[in-house]
Every structure is written in C-alpha cells, then in structure tokens.
Structure 1
C-alpha cells in the first residue's frame, strides 16, 4: 500500500479541501457512479426493444450421396451425386404491439435510474457528513492534547511549589511525593491523549477514503461561535427535508418502479403482434457421376404479420405477477418506513443539538469557575496558607472542566453537521450551516 498521490504534506488542509479530496478519492463515489451508469444503460436497453431487430444470415452446405448400381455398366458399379449451395439472407423481426409491456418495463427502468442518480448524490452527502464529523472529532482530540499539556504544566507548578516549601522547611516529603505523583499522572494522561489523537487521525483518513500511510497536515477548525440554542423543527421544515432527502426520494422512485413492473407482468397474459420480413438469395448446384453439373440461382422475399398468444405455461405467469405485486407491496411499506424514520431522525437530531449546546454552556461556566478555583488554590499553597490537597483537587477539577468544555464544543459541531445531513442539506462544504437554523 502506498500513500495517496496528489497530497502536499507541507500544506495545511481545511475542511473544504479535505472534502474535495474525499469526493475524488473515496471508492464509495466510484461505486455509486457505476451503479447510476448501469441503471442508465438498463434504460437504454429497454428502449432498444421498441426498434426492429435486423439480422444477416448465411446458410451453406452440401450433401454427397453414393449408390451401388444393381448392374455393372462397363467398369462402373456405383453412382455418386452432390448437391451444394449457399443462401444469404436478411431478416427483420419487429414486435409491433404488446399491450404496454415494453412501456411498463421502460418506466420501471427510468424510475430505477432516477433512484440510482439520487443515491449517487446521497453518497456525496454522506461522504461530506462523515468527513465533517471525523474532522471535528480530530479537532477535539487535538484540543485534548493541548489541555493535557496544560495540565502537565500545572502539575509541574504544584510539584515545584511543594519542593520549594520543603526546601524552606514549611513542607513535608509527603507533599513532595504527592507533587511528583501528580506530574506522573499528568504525563500519563498526555500520552493517552496523544494516542487518541493518532486514532482520530486515522478515522479521518478512513472517512476520506485515502491510504492510512498518507500524511496530511490538517488545519485547526477554530473556535466557531455557537448559538445559544436552536428551535424545534416545524412541520413545514420536516416536509421540506423529506422532499429533498436522497433516501426518501430513492425509496419513492423504487416504489414507482415496482408498480410499473406489475403492469409488465400483467401484459404477459396478453397476445403480442409481430412483423417479420426476409430477403434471401441462393445458388445451388447438382452434379452426378458422368452427368453435367446443373446450377440454379433463386431469390426470395416475404413479409409476415403474426399474433402469438400463450395459452398454458404451468402457472409461470401467474407466479411472476404475484411476485411483482408482492415486491410492489414491500416497496410501498419500505417507503413509508423510510419516510417515518427520516422524520424521526430530524426530530432526534434537533434534540441532540439542543442538548449539546446546553452542555457546552454549562461546561463553559464550569471551566471558568474551575480556573478561578485553581488559581486561588495554587496561590494559597504557594503563599503557605493552603495545602497541597486543595491544589491538586482544584487542578483535577480544572482538567475535567476543560475537557468537558472541549468535548461539548465538538459535540455541538458534530450534532449540527448531523442535523444538516438528516435535513438533506449536506450539500455545502461550509458546514455546519444547521447551526444557523433557529
């Protein structure tokens, strides 16, 4: 496996550029494109059945016959004969009328092609969503590393204060040991955060569909301002979303395709009218032992108009019709289930975003209070009026609060991207635009 070509390791890529790379490199886009192309080719194949079928045929051959004579004539006691000839033909076959069977098959193929095109667009939206989500989670992992680095710095300050107090005769060796333990714990937390950052980087590479050996410098998402809250999805918003969601539209097209297939199965019970024509020429020769060769040239043309009507097939057509009706019923139920699930996803996604924003507000307040507490506890310990337990507790609380704030911020961005996705609006690279949908 080689790194994905065309990526500059010295360049810092933002979210729009990462989405562009994903849409070009991710195998899912190529798979969806080929499926859409296959559906379009199927439509063309059905359209070809409206036209006549013309074929060129050549028939040639010979026949040798040898017979023993009952009486020998001179030195001849048998006679041999040969008949040979070649007949070139041009034939035409044309199904003139089939009670709408080809029309039903054509409609089914067109609906399937529409569904494939919609799913192709849906694949692009899903890739945008997956890359966006992985990008924000990677940003959160990098933020955790910075918080862990700051936590290690704070731990070293407490450890240094404990050592200074001990050197001045105001502290104890127990406090020095506690300070060193705090530094070791902070270093352990930093190593874990760095490992999580590497894991989230690979998840981003996987979402983009590029080689895991590829090295990409990712630009920080920045501290995007978050709104106080978002409103509850209205009935009009849900209807508009259902009208543009790829999975709902594709399911609707599939339902119409199965309905057309029922019409095609019904037409199998009806007669078919066909037209046939042939233009043929031929040359034949006959030769017998001792006789001159006889040759003959001939030509033939003809037009036929016929009707075919199946009378008995052992229940095959009836079974095919029942199967088509069952598939149509299944597709209708699938469409209703897809539509209901989509509406439910929109409501749940909006609730998740509101919860994430509320968590971010609470975590921000907690981080601000924890920072004040830590500064006060460290200052008191350094001045000799506090104890190391209060300082370490405040430092631990500050770490927890900052991580909670960072995670809540990333969760809000991910929830906003998810809401845009379930609304069928994940078409812009400037995500998450759903944050502005009050």
Structure 2
C-alpha cells in the first residue's frame, strides 16, 4: 500500500524598485497641524475666529483627507511606470511508496511594461487632474468655512448690539412711563396717557427678552461655525469702526472675468473636465497592444539534484475581441466627459451670477449704511425733543412714544446695515475667489473686497 502526502511552504514578496522617469512625481500632502486650545479666556477678533474655523471645522479635515487620498491615488498611477520585482520561494516534503523526497525552489521575476500606447500616461494625467480638482474643492470648502465664520461672527456682534439697543429702548420707555405717571399725579395727564406708556414699556421689555434669546442663539451658531459645540463659551472683542466707504464703481464685467480665473470651485470643475479627457484617452488605449519585458533566474533542488534556469523575454499582448467591451468603455468615458463639460459651463454661469448679486448687494449695503447714520441722528434728536416737550407739559404722550419707537427702529436699522455691509463685503470677496486669511487685514476699498 502506498501513502502519498505533500507538505509545503510558499513565500511571495513583491518589491517596487525606486525608479521613476524624471518628468513624473507623486504629490505628498502633509497632515493638518494640530489646533490650539479652546478660546475660553480671551475676546476673539474676527481674524482669530476665522483661524479657529479653518483649523477646527470638520469640513476642513474632511476635504483635506480627500485631497490626501487623491494624492495617494496619483502615487498609485505613477507606480505603473516602475518595473516590478517578485521573489518566490517554496519547500515541500513528499512521501510516495515509502520514499521521502524534498523539493525546494526559489525564483526572482522581473517584469516591466515597456510600452502600452499611452495607457499609463492617460491614467496618470487623470489622477493628476483629479488631484488638482480635489485641491481646488478643498480651497472652495475653506472659503465657504471662512465666509460662514465671518457671517456668524458679525451676526453675533449684531445680535449683541441689538440686545444693547433693546435695553436702551426699554429704559427710554421706563422714563416715559415715569413722566406719564408724574403728570397723571399732577393732574395734567389722563389715565389713557399712563396706559399707553405702560403698554409701550411692556412692548420694549418683550423686545429686550427676544433680543437676548436671539443673541444666545447667535453665539451657539458661531461656536458651531468655529468647530465647537454650541455650548462653548465665547467672548468677542469690540468691533472697530467701519472704514471709510470706498467708491464701489468698478466694472462688473472685469470682476466677473477675475472670478472666472480665481474661483476654486470653477477651477475644480475645469480640472474635472481635464480628468475626463484623460479618462477617454485611457479607455481608448486599453484596446491597444502592450509590450512587456520579463526576466529572472530560477533555482530548484529535488532529491539532491539542483537545477538553475535563467530567462529573458518580451511579451506582446494584442486584444483581438472583447465582446465590444472596449467600445462601450470608450463611450462611457466620452459621456462622462460631456457631463463634466456641461457642469463646468453651469458653474461658470453661476460664478458670474454670484459676482453680479454680491456686487450689487454691496452697493446697496453701502448706501443703506450711509443713510442709516442720518436716520439715527435725526431720530435721536426727535426723541430728545419729544421727551423734553412732554415733561414740560406741551407735548402729548403719543408724540413721545412715536418718537421713541422711531428712535429704536432707527438704531436697529443702523445695526442691521452695519451687519449687511460686513457680510456683503465678505460675500463679494468669496464670489471673486479672494476670501483668504490675509483678506481680513486689508483696508476697505477695491483691494479689500
């Protein structure tokens, strides 16, 4: 009776040689640096708030990781240019018919794709353009995070100013109520005057309570925009006075042309088109021949007999028929290219619209801010005169309450117009692709948009 068995160990090792054409290089993106500690003991300026948002917001890390992954994909495509060296080894113990035998073998195999009619170059160009698109998308995301932080910061400042204004309106209503009660006790005012003053004070108190809630909500929104929990305590530095208003009379068409060159989301769309073009070239090259070089020695030992074989050769692979798979792959790549071109055109039109809307929004906000100053000054003067007339007994309570309501409304409009100007200025900078960390340090004017 014969017993046959085989016991073997197989070891395969793949090695990538450090060889690369001079015109090909992978991009290595470093990880994001660590962020600083939470800002609990200092008053934040808008520039510090933006720095925190750019460092801490999850979207920043998300798109940075995507860009790093695409950079690694470029490295993978570049690996196709390198030869491969594989080491293979095996050992087997055999028993057949009562006779033991040992088989040992080792092999080195070098393979190198010499020529493929442009397939590797097309795949590499596709990966390189996709990396460019990922980096541009990252920049667009950073500008979006930047703008959201600026908007949330100025909105928080506005709600805090509105809260202070509501408190002033409540105090003014209380003074009016005191004056009405004093005149009522003196017999020079009717009960209706006192009731009107009480109603006005209650309305002012309600407005103050609502403004406090809006301020708390705005602070939570700002904390979220900076990458913190909504409950994160934040203190804001006082806002500096607005710079002198520039004459915003630049040519809108020139600004649109600038945005077409700078906007990272449009640059990403353009890179996607280039990547799709490279994908079409790669799909076409897949149906063409490929020439490979193979070489390597092989050693084998069986029952004490050793043999050694060396080989060197070229292999030509010619796809003859693939069931029309290649044809459909080319058509699929061409359809994807057409899609990317349509998306680029749509994005280009959107960029022009963004600049148009932001430009006219800034013009409106500038004019509104200038007009609100005159409105507030006249309303404050009117309220002072009305209070003096009423206390002197020559004015009516209705005139006083009307003047105070107009003053409170004018103060709120002044606060809103300042908020609108700051936000519209940032929106125009984002529409032009200028929203970068150094932008906050620029003065108002054409270069500060």
Same fold (TM over 0.5): yes
Q: Does 1:425 align with 2:434?
A: yes
Q: Distance in 2 between matches of 1:372 and 1:403?
A: 16
Q: Distance in 1 between matches of 2:100 and 2:333?
A: 57
Q: Distance in 2 between matches of 1:222 and 1:430?
A: 16
Partner of 1:248: 266
Partner of 1:47: 78
1:321–1:336 CA distance, 2 compared to 1 (3 A):
same
Partner of 1:339: 348
Q: Distance in 2 between matches of 1:424 and 1:10?
A: 33
Q: How does 1:348-367 map to 2 (within 5 A)?
A: 348-367=357-376
1:315 alignment partner, one of 305, 311, 324: 324
Partner of 1:115: 133
Partner of 1:86: 104
Partner of 2:23: none
Deviates more, 1:187-196 or 1:212-221: 212-221
Q: Distance in 2 between matches of 1:134 and 1:27?
A: 17
Q: Does 1:182 align with 2:213?
A: no
Q: Does 1:106 align with 2:124?
A: yes
Q: Is the 8 A contact 2:220 2:232 kept in 1?
A: no
Q: Is the 8 A contact 2:246 2:445 kept in 1?
A: no
Q: Is the 8 A contact 1:233 1:350 kept in 2?
A: no
Partner of 2:243: 225
- In structure 2, runs of 5+ residues without a counterpart are 1-34
Partner of 1:25: 56
Partner of 1:70: none
Q: Is the 8 A contact 1:416 1:434 kept in 2?
A: no
- In structure 1, runs of 5+ residues without a counterpart are 67-79, 286-294
Q: Is the 8 A contact 2:219 2:234 kept in 1?
A: no
Q: How does 1:139-218 map to 2 (within 5 A)?
A: 139-218=157-236
Deviation at 1:219, TM superposition (A): 0.8
Partner of 1:76: none
Deviation at 1:123, TM superposition (A): 2.5
Q: Is the 8 A contact 1:162 1:171 kept in 2?
A: yes
1:135–1:376 CA distance, 2 compared to 1 (3 A):
same
Task: Give the structure-1-normalised TM-score.
Answer: 0.90
Q: Is the 8 A contact 1:349 1:422 kept in 2?
A: yes
Q: Is the 8 A contact 1:90 1:278 kept in 2?
A: yes
Deviation at 1:280, TM superposition (A): 0.7
- Structure 1, residues 39-93: CA drift from partner, whole Å, max 9, x if none? 1111111111111111111233354444xxxxxxxxxxxxx44544111111111
Q: Does 1:403 align with 2:421?
A: no
Task: Give the structure-2-normalised TM-score.
Answer: 0.88
Q: Distance in 1 between matches of 2:441 and 2:334?
A: 43
Deviates more, 1:301-310 or 1:206-215: 206-215
Q: Distance in 2 between matches of 1:8 and 1:359?
A: 34
Deviation at 1:273, TM superposition (A): 0.5
Tell me the secondary structure at the aligned position of residue 380 of structure 2: helix
Deviation at 1:18, TM superposition (A): 1.1
**Whose RCO is larger (CA < 8 A, sep 6+)?**
1
- Structure 1, residues 209-268: CA drift from partner, whole Å, max 9, x if none? 112232121112233135165225433332222211101111111111110111110001
Deviation at 1:5, TM superposition (A): 7.2
Q: Distance in 1 between matches of 2:401 and 2:391?
A: 13
